[in-house]
Each structure stands twice: as structure tokens, then as C-alpha cells.
């Protein structure tokens, strides 16, 4: 018997909240990588680690916020705590591999291709590991083609994000890149969910033990969300990143200003140009007479 799947049981609330968290993690991660690459005064390993953790937490939080809206009408869903925590560690680790690779080696084709592939496969592994943590009175099956498509989307999204991390260093371009990154990661998640089907067991089973989504996921989401908020505070008040924002704004203002004419306004020449020779001779004669009168 096939189960009736509803991935949007709370309407647009969970997809929108999941997208916002993916964008937030991506934005913070990109700004941290920018801070490490384009500022010589930065402690590169620390900022790269902060960026990788921000992106990983954003992806993981996006996944499980979206999963709060997932249900199978004929059975309850529970989650295994160990696999859920392990999926968070996998997300941070694989993103860290890609971020450190491009942070130290740049975005040449080979490095970007390898790092993007490893990171994308890792993000997909986090997704399906999180799905493996889900227990219900049935068997979860996947459509092979749709799963492959979701992995491909993850690789493209990861490669694009790593390229943007070291190639885009203005505030507004980074913001736009994070919005696109959030859309790609959310698209990968819901593509993977489209591959899911549930074959229900005819009799109740004692094998699907665990905690309910609300009792497990909501408390576990508090930690990553608090971390992202604190990371946002660090990024917002970092003086070098603030300087980068101001430089971006100043550059835009300068590009918007019309080109000034090299000709000086009428009447202004007398303020900057030396007097003509005749005037200088007259001043010299007057000065000599004054000195002569003062002498006698």
C-alpha cells in the first residue's frame, strides 16, 4: 500500500522559512570567505571555518525546517537523534573541504571542479542521511533518475557558491549570490523529496522508534539558528567588512557621477593663475618705492 505524502502540510510557511535560512547561511558564509581572501589582516583559517560552518548550518537548518512540513498521512514520523546530528556534521565538513580548497588555491578550473563536486555530493549525502534518520511504519523508496538530478543540482549549486565566494567581493553582488544559492539548495531539497515514495507496512511495526518531528527538530534547530545569528553579528560589525561595503557604495557613487569638464569656470583663472608680467613689474616698482621712503 502506498502512503499519501504531503511535503507542504504547513503551506508556504516551511518552504519560505527554509529558503530564508539557506540564504542567511549562504550570505554569512560568502562574506566570511571574502573577509579571509581579500583582506591581508584576517586570520584566514578562522574566517574560512566560520564561513564553512555558516553555510553548513544554513543548509542543514533549511533541510529540517522543510522536513517539519513533510508528513505521510497514514503513519507517524519519528527521527533518530544520532543520524540527525551526524547529518549536521557531514554538512559542515564537506562544505569546509570546498571552502578551504578555494580559499587557499583559488578558483582555477581543476580546484573548482573537484571542490564543487566533493561539496555537492556531500550536501546530497547530508540530505539523504537526514532522510535515513526518518523512521515510519513503512519503507521509503527513491526514484533513481530524480535522485541523480538532485545530486547534479547540489553539485552545480556548490560549485557556483564556491566560485562566488572568491570571485564576488562587493556587498550587493554577494547578497545576490546568496539569494541564488538559497534557491539552488532549496531546489535540490525539494527535487530529492520528489523522488520519495512510501510503501506502508500492513501491520504496525515496533522498529520505527524515535522522537517526533516537533519534539526533536525544533529544539535541535535552536543551536544552529543561534549560531547563525551570532555569526551575523560578527560579520555585521567587523570593521574590514564594513569598509568593504563602504568601498562598494563609494565605487557605485563615483561611477554614477557625470564626468567633469576640464575647462575652468569663467573668472576662476585669476584665482589660480599668476598675474601678467606688466602687473608684476608695477608691483615691484611700488614695493621698491615703499622701501626707499622707509629708508629715508
pLDDT digits (tens, 9 = 90+) for 231-243: 878 777 666 655 5
pLDDT tens digits for range 102-138? 888 877 888 888 988 988 998 999 999 999 988 888 8
- Structural domain containing residue 246: 5-252
| pLDDT, position 79 | 86
Q: Say what the pLDDT of residue 16 is.
A: 93
Choose the weakest-confidence range: 49-63, 199-213, 216-230, 256-270: 256-270
Q: What is the mean pLDDT of the chain?
A: 77
- Quick check: 199 and 2 in contact, CB under 8 A? yes
Question: Quick one: pLDDT band at residue 256, thresholds 50, 70, 90?
Answer: very low
Q: Is residue 271 part of a domain?
A: no
* pLDDT class of 197 with cuts at 50, 70, 90: very high
Q: pLDDT confidence of 258, banded at 50, 70, 90?
A: very low
CA angle (196 as vertex; 194, 199 as ends), nearest 5:
145
Of the candidate ranges 128-137, 248-257, 270-279, the one whose mean pLDDT is the lowest = 248-257
pLDDT exceeds cutoff 70 at 42? no
Range with the lowest mean pLDDT among 29-33, 234-238, 246-250?
A: 246-250
Retrieve residue 251's grid coordinates.
Answer: 565605487
With respect to residue 289, please indicate whether it lies within any of the assigned structural domains.
Answer: no
**Domains: count for the chain:** 1
Q: Are 8 and 67 in contact (CB under 8 A)?
A: no
> What is the spatial distance between Cα 41 and Cα 131, in angstroms, rounded to a whole number?
42
Determine whether 1 is exposed, middle or buried from the number of CB atoms within 10 Å of its CB (0-12, 13-18, 19+): exposed
pLDDT at 23 over 80: yes
Domain membership of residue 296 (yes or no) is: no
The answer to whether position 287 is within a domain reads no
User: Within a domain: residue 269?
Assistant: no
Is the residue at 295 inside a domain?
Answer: no
Residue 97: partners with Cβ closer than 8 Å, 6 or more residues away: 115, 118, 119, 122
More confident residue, 217 or 145: 145
User: Can you spell out the DSSP letters for the chain?
Assistant: -B--EETTTTTTHHHHHHHHHHHHHHHHHHHHHHHHHH-TTS-HHHHHHHHHHHHHHHHHHHHHHHHHT-EETTB-EEE-HHHHHHHHHHHHHHHHHHHHHHHHH-S-HHHHHHHHHHHHHHHHHHHHHHHHTEEESEEEEE-HHHHHHHHHHHHHHHHHHHHHHHH--SHHHHHHHHHHHHHHHHHHHHHHHHTEEEEE-SS--SS--SB-HHHHHHHHHHHHHHHHHHHHHHHHT-HHHHHHHHHHHHHHHHHHSPPPPSSPPTT-HHHHSPPPHHHHHHHHHHHHHHHHHHH-
Does the residue 278 lie in any domain?
no
Residue 286 lies in a domain: no
The 10 Å Cβ neighbour count of residue 141 is 11
C-beta of residue 177 within 8 angstroms of C-beta of residue 34? no
Amino acid at each position: 500500500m502506498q502512503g499519501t505524502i504531503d511535503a507542504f502540510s504547513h503551506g508556504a510557511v516551511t518552504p519560505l522559512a527554509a529558503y530564508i535560512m539557506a540564504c542567511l547561511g549562504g550570505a554569512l558564509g560568502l562574506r566570511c570567505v571574502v573577509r579571509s581572501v581579500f583582506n591581508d589582516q584576517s586570520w584566514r583559517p578562522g574566517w574560512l571555518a566560520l564561513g564553512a560552518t555558516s553555510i553548513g548550518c544554513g543548509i542543514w537548518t533549511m533541510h529540517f525546517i522543510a522536513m517539519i512540513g513533510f508528513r505521510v498521512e497514514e503513519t507517524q514520523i519519528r527521527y533518530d537523534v544520532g543520524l540527525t546530528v551526524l547529518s549536521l556534521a557531514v554538512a559542515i565538513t564537506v562544505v569546509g573541504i570546498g571552502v578551504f580548497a578555494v580559499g587557499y588555491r583559488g578558483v582555477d578550473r581543476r580546484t573548482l571542479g573537484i571542490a564543487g563536486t566533493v561539496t555537492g555530493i556531500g550536501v546530497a549525502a547530508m540530505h539523504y542521511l537526514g532522510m535515513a534518520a526518518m523512521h515510519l511504519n513503512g519503507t521509503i523508496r527513491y526514484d533513481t533518475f530524480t535522485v541523480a538530478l538532485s545530486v547534479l543540482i547540489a553539485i552545480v549549486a556548490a560549485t557556483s557558491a564556491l566560485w562566488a565566494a572568491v570571485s564576488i567581493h562587493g556587498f550587493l553582488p554577494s547578497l545576490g549570490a546568496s539569494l541564488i544559492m538559497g534557491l539552488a539548495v532549496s531546489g535540490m531539497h525539494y527535487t530529492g523529496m520528489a523522488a520519495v515514495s512510501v510503501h506502508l507496512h500492513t501491520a504496525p511495526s515496533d522498529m520505527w522508534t524515535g522522537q517526533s518531528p516537533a519534539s526533536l527538530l525544533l529544539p535541535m534547530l535552536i543551536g544552529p539558528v543561534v549560531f547563525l545569528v551570532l555569526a551575523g553579528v560578527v560579520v555585521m560589525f567587523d570593521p574590514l567588512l564594513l569598509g568593504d561595503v563602504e568601498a562598494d557604495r563609494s565605487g557605485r557613487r563615483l561611477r554614477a557621477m557625470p564626468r567633469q569638464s576640464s575647462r575652468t569656470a569663467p573668472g576662476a583663472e585669476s584665482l589660480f593663475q599668476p598675474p601678467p608680467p606688466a602687473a608684476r613689474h608695477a608691483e615691484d616698482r611700488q614695493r621698491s618705492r615703499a622701501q626707499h621712503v622707509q629708508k629715508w
